[in-house]
Amino acid sequence: MGGLQVLGRTYRHLSRYREVAGILAKHGFGDLLHVLRLDAGFEGLRRRPRDETATRAERVRLAVEELGPTFIKAGQYMSTRADLLAPEYLRALAKLQDHVPPFPAAQARAVVEEELGRPIASLFARFDNRPLAAASIAQIHAARLPDGREVVVKIERPGIRRVVANDLEIMAHLAALAEKHLPEWNRRKPTRVIAEIARSLDRELDFALEAAHTERFARQFEDDPTVRVPLVHRALSTSRVLTLERVSGRKADDPAALERAGLDPRVAAETVSGHYLAMIFVHGFFHADPHPGNLFIQDNHVVAYVDFGMTGRLDRATREGLADVIYAVSERDEALLSRSLLALAEYDSEPDEREFKSDMAELMDQYAYRPLAEWRLGRMLEQLFQTTARHGVRIPADLFLMVKALTEVESFARNLHPGFDAISASAPYVRRVQEQKTAPGRVAERAAEAARETLDLLASAPSELRELIRQARRGRLLLEFEHKGLDPLLTELDQASNRLAYALLLGALVIGSALLVHAGLPPYWRGIPVFGLAGFTLSAVMAFWLLAAIIRHGRL
């Protein structure tokens, strides 16, 4: 049975699913639809890509842009995952554009009034109908408060939650099919990746959470006069409407504009990079979307940060592990590098130590004999994590988000100041983390944590042992064994048993039909018993269907 026929019974969004499959086919991914068993019903669609000169990676980007906002957000997320995609796909997805036509001002006003429970005229002295910016999730309007303060109002696009929910359901099903039918994707666990994307989109669709992130960022830099964060107007904000102080400045990627304003691009580069290194190594909470439209350089080299819809977190253990990784590379210590990367990661089975260290040494050779000024910190970390992933080791998603943010910051910092050296800039922060790790207070804290865990274990051990003995006495003690690598064999056995049962049923139908014909039971059609003839006809159809299924899978 074709994949779409199955979906007709189990899927609530069949028309959208057809649209998704049609767009994939149009951009030349009919082979993928076939492997995922979703090509039934699409024979009439264009299978050749519209732009036959485009690479497969570029066609992925074009298809994702046509698929709409949820897929674009997913693609942007995937552009950070160097552990899952080849570099050409990462580069293509990094170009994804999230520009959509604005929705009408009347709808924007309606959302604001519905969420805040009052007419626009009583909330704002002025509300501009023309948006400042429009994207797939929301659009932003300028406004003025009754007391004269200038603000921006971020308003959720009407109906976007339903669109996102439907598309995420389709993505989850596609991921499950990929996990089942594409061996190279089985170990990458695409269903887990889609769950991460869903959590990211849930956070981005909750403007109350974005308001909290904005306020947290402001608090962690409250003693730094070079950081400016817009004030959140809580009384004018909900989960679908966010009202913020309006801030402005020069874009961080325009050194000529900075110089015209009497600012030093080198100081601006060092200031922004210092902020990001502090976010990563000191605070563990970082602004994850540092494109030039979200960073403004104000007078006295003050940096204003806006749009906290995308943020990341690094706990203390991860920050310490990351510092160890950078220190190990700078010291050319392969053993420490291997240990530090494995400490950061998760894995079902430990990788081969010799092969892992060999790959780390080979990668380290790319940097070992270069001057530090030629190193690219973000690119180096991306390569390390990508190599680690090839050994079946999973790096936390927030680390890849951090690497992407750090790479972007490093890129425009070098644009402002070509001599910018990220490794040297990070050295004080790495030393600080390592010193704190071995400080007496931190050592005592870790010892106290270990003691508490030991006491908890000792306290719970007798009761758990008694429960094991009780279960054994009752005959309810169950030991489970998991066999690795048997899934393909079990699938083959399941298919073989299904076909055997089908063949037995087919044989029984043929014998029964022959008996009916031999008995000559009425009614008749041209002298042949109708029921017997019907049985033979059904048998023939079933036999051809079984033969076609066997040929389709290449096993006659």
Q: Is the pLDDT of residue 465 over 80?
A: no
Res 7: pLDDT: 46
pLDDT digits (tens, 9 = 90+) for 314-351: 999 899 999 998 888 878 788 888 888 888 887 777 78
pLDDT digits (tens, 9 = 90+) for 477-514: 666 656 555 566 566 666 677 767 767 777 777 787 77
Cβ neighbors of 348 (< 8 A, separation 6 or more) are 392
Average pLDDT, integer, range 353-362: 84
Res 422: pLDDT: 86
Res 212: pLDDT: 96
Average pLDDT, integer, range 236-261: 92
| Percent above pLDDT 90 for the chain | 32
Q: Is the pLDDT of residue 372 over 70?
A: no
Measured distance CA(164)–CA(73) in Å, rounded? 10
pLDDT band of residue 247 (cuts 50, 70, 90) is very high
Q: Is the pLDDT of residue 105 over 60?
A: yes
Phi then psi dihedrals of residue 224, to 5 deg:
-105, 110
Query: Would you state the structure tokens that stand for residue 77, as one six-digit string?
Result: 């997320």
Q: Is the pLDDT of residue 448 over 90?
A: no
Of 209, 178, 213, nearest to 193 by C-alpha is: 178
Res 143: pLDDT: 97
| Cis ω before 523 (30° cut-off from 0) | yes
Q: Is the pLDDT of residue 275 over 50?
A: yes
User: What's at 169, amino acid-wise?
Assistant: E
Measured distance CA(327)–CA(317) in Å, rounded? 15
With b for 16 or more beta-carbon neighbours within 10 A and e for fewer, the 479-496 pattern comes to eeeeeeeeeeeeeeeeee
Query: Would you state the structure tokens that stand for residue 555, as one six-digit string?
Result: 């096993």
Burial class (CB in 10 A: 0-12, 13-18, 19+), 267: middle
pLDDT band of residue 41 (cuts 50, 70, 90) is low
Res 177: pLDDT: 87
Q: Is the pLDDT of residue 216 over 90?
A: yes
Selected residue with higher pLDDT from 133 and 526: 133
Mean pLDDT of the chain: 82
Res 1: pLDDT: 38
Chain centroid, CA 142 distance in Å: 31
Selected residue with higher pLDDT from 137 and 539: 137
Q: Is the pLDDT of residue 85 over 80?
A: yes
Q: Is the pLDDT of residue 106 over 90?
A: yes
Q: If you ran DSSP here, which 8-state letter would residue 301 be given?
A: G
Q: Is the pLDDT of residue 3 over 50?
A: no
- By annotation, the residues acting in catalysis are 289
Selected residue with higher pLDDT from 554 and 386: 386
The residue whose two tokens read 């210590």 is: 333
Query: Would you state the structure tokens that stand for residue 256, as one six-digit string?
Result: 């000529």
The DSSP result for 365-392, as a single string, is: HHHHTS-GGG--HHHHHHHHHHHHHTTT
Measured distance CA(554)–CA(548) in Å, rounded? 10
Query: Would you state the structure tokens that stand for residue 207, as one six-digit string?
Result: 């403007």
Measured distance CA(395)–CA(403) in Å, rounded? 12
Query: Would you state the structure tokens that stand for residue 551, as one six-digit string?
Result: 């040929």
**Range with lowest mean pLDDT among 19-28, 40-49, 293-302:** 40-49
Average pLDDT, integer, range 269-285: 94
The residue whose two tokens read 């203390």 is: 316
pLDDT band of residue 40 (cuts 50, 70, 90) is low
Q: Is the pLDDT of residue 368 over 70?
A: no
The residue whose two tokens read 């090839």 is: 390
Res 486: pLDDT: 56
CB atoms within 10 A of CB 389: 19
Q: Is the pLDDT of residue 382 over 90?
A: no
Selected residue with higher pLDDT from 158 and 453: 158
Measured distance CA(234)–CA(246) in Å, rounded? 15
Measured distance CA(556)–CA(548) in Å, rounded? 9
Instruction: Pick the most confident of 32-46, 219-233, 398-412, 505-519.
Output: 219-233
Measured distance CA(30)–CA(21) in Å, rounded? 9
Collapse the DSSP code of 124 into the 3-class scheme (helix H, G, I; strand E, B; otherwise coil) and give the result.
coil
Q: CB–CB of 384/340 below 8 Å?
A: no
Res 447: pLDDT: 66
Query: Would you state the structure tokens that stand for residue 285, as one six-digit string?
Result: 């909470």
The residue whose two tokens read 């022959």 is: 514
Burial class (CB in 10 A: 0-12, 13-18, 19+), 432: middle
Query: Would you state the structure tokens that stand for residue 81, as one six-digit string?
Result: 């995952």
Measured distance CA(324)–CA(337) in Å, rounded? 7
Res 396: pLDDT: 84
Res 5: pLDDT: 42
Chain centroid, CA 210 distance in Å: 18
Res 488: pLDDT: 61
Average pLDDT, integer, range 60-79: 90
